[in-house]
Amino acid sequence: IRYYPCPGRIAGHPSILEGTIEEIVESARSIAARTGVHGLDLLAYRAAVDVPHLISAVCGAVSKPVIVAGSIDRAERIHAVIGGKASGFTVGTAALDERFPAASPGLMQQLLAIAAITTEVP
């Protein structure tokens, strides 16, 4: 079991990340410094900020892995996650709703399409 809490202020459902980039980065530093925290779960695309900058700022501010979650539903967002030096990302509903261009329908094809996107050079 690994503990990856979310930095920043989380509100509502679906979850929204509130605050400025500076506030979220400070929260990330504070949380990452705690014993027992293995990494961070950053809801970057649920924030009303410059998301690529947020990802880069949080990843650069902590020495623990940052996983980007929430609304990763297109290639451009995957490229921003990779460019921001995040350790990984989650994809849930977007794959189940078949939002990625795939050779044929189905979850396995969605996962293959996502894997292919991760190898593209933006």
The two tokens of residue 85 are: 């030096």
Q: Where does residue 59 rank: exposed (0-12), middle (13-18), buried (19+ CB within 10 A)?
A: buried
Q: Judge whether 38 and 83 are in contact, CB under 8 Å.
A: no
pLDDT digits (tens, 9 = 90+) for 61-105: 999 999 999 999 999 999 999 999 999 999 989 999 999 999 999
d(CA 110, CA 93): 11
Question: What integer pLDDT is reported at residue 93 of this predicted model?
Answer: 93
Phi-psi region of 53 (alpha: psi -120 to 50; beta: other; left: phi over 0): alpha
Residue closest to 70 by CA, chosen among 117, 111, 14: 14
Q: Whole-angstrom distance between the N-terminal and C-terminal Cα of the chain?
A: 34
pTM for the model stands at 0.93
Phi-psi region of 108 (alpha: psi -120 to 50; beta: other; left: phi over 0): alpha
pLDDT digits (tens, 9 = 90+) for 5-24: 999 999 999 899 999 999 99
